[in-house]
Amino acid sequence: MHTLAELKEQAKRKSMQTVAVANATDVDVLKAIKQVIEEDLCSFLLFGDELKTRSLADSIDLNVTSPQLSIVDETENPGAAAVRAVHQQKASILMKGNISTKDLLTAVLNKECGLRSGNVLSHVALFEFPERDKLLFLTDAAMNIAPALPEKVQIIQNCVHVAHCIGIANPKVAPLAAVEVVNPAMQATIDAASLTQMQRRGQIKGCMIDGPLAFDNAVSRIAADHKQIHSEVAGNADILLVPGIETGNALYKSFMYFAGAKVAAVISGASAPIVLTSRTDTAENKVYSLTLALLASTTF
């Protein structure tokens, strides 16, 4: 797969799914929903103020009478209502609307009617670059601040699950560090080496891991060859595992603002995918994120 647009063709081959939107009173979210409905990718349950939702929908010519669209008037707690709909299997995907991330995740983590699965929740981003011939995953750029080794194992597993769902059978994972050798003073290198050995001994399945790798060695075959790093992952990574949120956040935004990348992103690890887009995301990126979630909705 070379482009995010190819995700749509895969999604069209799946059975029709329903997305629960937590507080749909957001014009940019509704624009993305309009495009997805026009491409006949899925259906929606829109939770929130019905009058305001209808007014915003009218302003962008979104047909609220579409059979793929239902509005649920819920002004008290639309986030909890949307999560409950997924919990009750009335929808298979959760999408953030005009609601704070904190409030939505509080509902997701509710012990009685949330979306807990026992796994760590992590952010999975999939990038398309103008001058790169394949897509690239980045994880975790938004959820886990300073994950320790056990959390990194689950973060990898969450991302590998999404990679499998889009057809990458054995993704190559590069745990990033500042250098490509183990340095006892740098915890990221120790964790990377441990993850590599865990995968080789069958403790982490469904992927290939090699690290530590610096960013250039992970994505550039020329850089890897120059440093005489010989592995199937170096220079050809499918997944970049960052050591902490600062690195992930900086890489994510660098890809967007300096490399002109397009992105699809989901929260993985819950009992259903969560589309947690940013207010700065374009409508196109929101559509790609929805599409990735549709493909990632296969249960763990």
pLDDT tens digits, 140-157: 999 999 999 999 999 999
> How many helices (H) does the chain have, and how many strands (E)?
11, 11
Provide the angle, in degrees to the nearest 10, between the axes of the packed helices 78-87 and 101-108.
40
pLDDT at residue 300, as a whole number? 39
Q: Of 36, 94, 47, 98, which Cα lies nearest the Cα of 71?
A: 47
Angle between helices 149-165 and 187-200 (to 10 degrees): 50
Q: Radius of gyration over alpha carbons of the chain, in Å?
A: 19
- C-alpha to C-alpha distances, 162 to 36, 156, 197, nearest whole angstrom: 20, 10, 22
According to the model, what pLDDT value does residue 195 have? 98
* Exposure on the CB side of residue 139, measured as CA atoms within 13 A: 33
User: What does the alpha-carbon distance between residue 108 and residue 270 come to, in Å, rounded to a whole number?
Assistant: 8
In angstroms, the first-to-last Cα distance of the chain is 22
Question: How much is the pLDDT for 297?
Answer: 85
In sequence order, what are the residues at sequence separation of 6 or more whose Cβ sits closer than 8 angstroms to the Cβ of residue 272? 86, 91, 92, 93, 94, 115, 297
Distance CA 235, CA 135 (A): 13
pLDDT at 298: 63
Residue 273: asked if its preceding bond is cis (omega within 30°), the reply is no
* Four-residue CA torsion sign, 258, 259, 263, 267: negative
**Angle between helices 149-165 and 283-295 in degrees, nearest 10:** 90
pTM of the full structure: 0.94
Residues 6+ apart with CB under 8 A from 226: none
Residue 146, judged by CB atoms within 10 A of its CB (0-12, 13-18, 19+), counts as: exposed
Positions in the chain short of pLDDT 50: 299-300
pLDDT (0 to 100) of residue 283: 82
